[in-house]
Amino acid sequence: MQAAQLFDLTGEVALVTGASSGLGSRFAEVLASHGAKVVLAARRVDRLTALGEKIRLAALALPLDITDRSAIGRAFDRAEAAFGPVTVLVNNAGVVVAKRFLDHTPEDWERVRTTNLDALWFMAQEAAGRMIKAGIAGAIINISSILGYRVTAGNSAYCVTKAAVAQMTAALALELARHKIRVNAIAPGYITTEMTEAYLASPVSEQTRNAIPQRRAGSPSDLDGVLLLLASRQASGYMTGSTIVVDGGHMCAFV
């Protein structure tokens, strides 16, 4: 099979959370450019609208606060009304609270946990339940992080939740395999996005870049290939429960 066919997503309906900026907007564009209909889900409506206009007929801008459980079902209803059942879910939305462990308030922990972990669980549950009811195969792609495997000071809540995402990916893969639903994850290293660009452009980040064997931070486009691999049933039909690290070799050098 030729590469163009291997990564052809024609007929797929992908819902991407956190699609208003950063990795989410890149994921949406890449999926749409390979034939998928894309549902853009996030809270910032103006940005969703702009991205939807860029992608044009292949996209639906869908305002969604993923921490609002009551809104999740309604979001899938709207997606189905526009394009049919969602066949690819990209659980991308996430937040960081940069504080030391002892300085975290209960509200800080709640915010990080509900966004980075709870929301992914309930989005996956809604997507899988609907796939099973419709009798269709599908894919769930969770976004974890290399900080789910190693930790840095001042990011404790983020590290804990991202580690849980990797374990959740394996657990859901085990239970959903018999329904022909693949569940995999991507664990990026330092990628330049709106969330990280200020830090990565500062002198203090030099030590971080020097710790990466490739001596650079990644760009969102560095995740294109692994995203398409996991979204394509032709390319990864026998692959589930995996978390793929994309970090310029950073994990190899972590101490």
Which are the catalytic amino acids?
158
**6-16 burial, b for 16+ CB within 10 Å, e for fewer?**
ebbbeebbbbb
Closest CA to 40 of 67, 59, 57: 59
- 10 Å CB burial of residue 185 (0-12, 13-18, 19+) is buried
Task: With CA atoms as reference, report the closest residue to 25 among 10, 14, 40, 9.
Answer: 40
- Locus of tokens 């969602």: 86
Q: How far apart are CA 141 and CA 150, in angstroms?
A: 21
- Report the alpha-carbon distance of residue 207 to residue 172 in Å, rounded: 37
What gap in Å lies between CA 118 and CA 186, rounded to an integer? 18
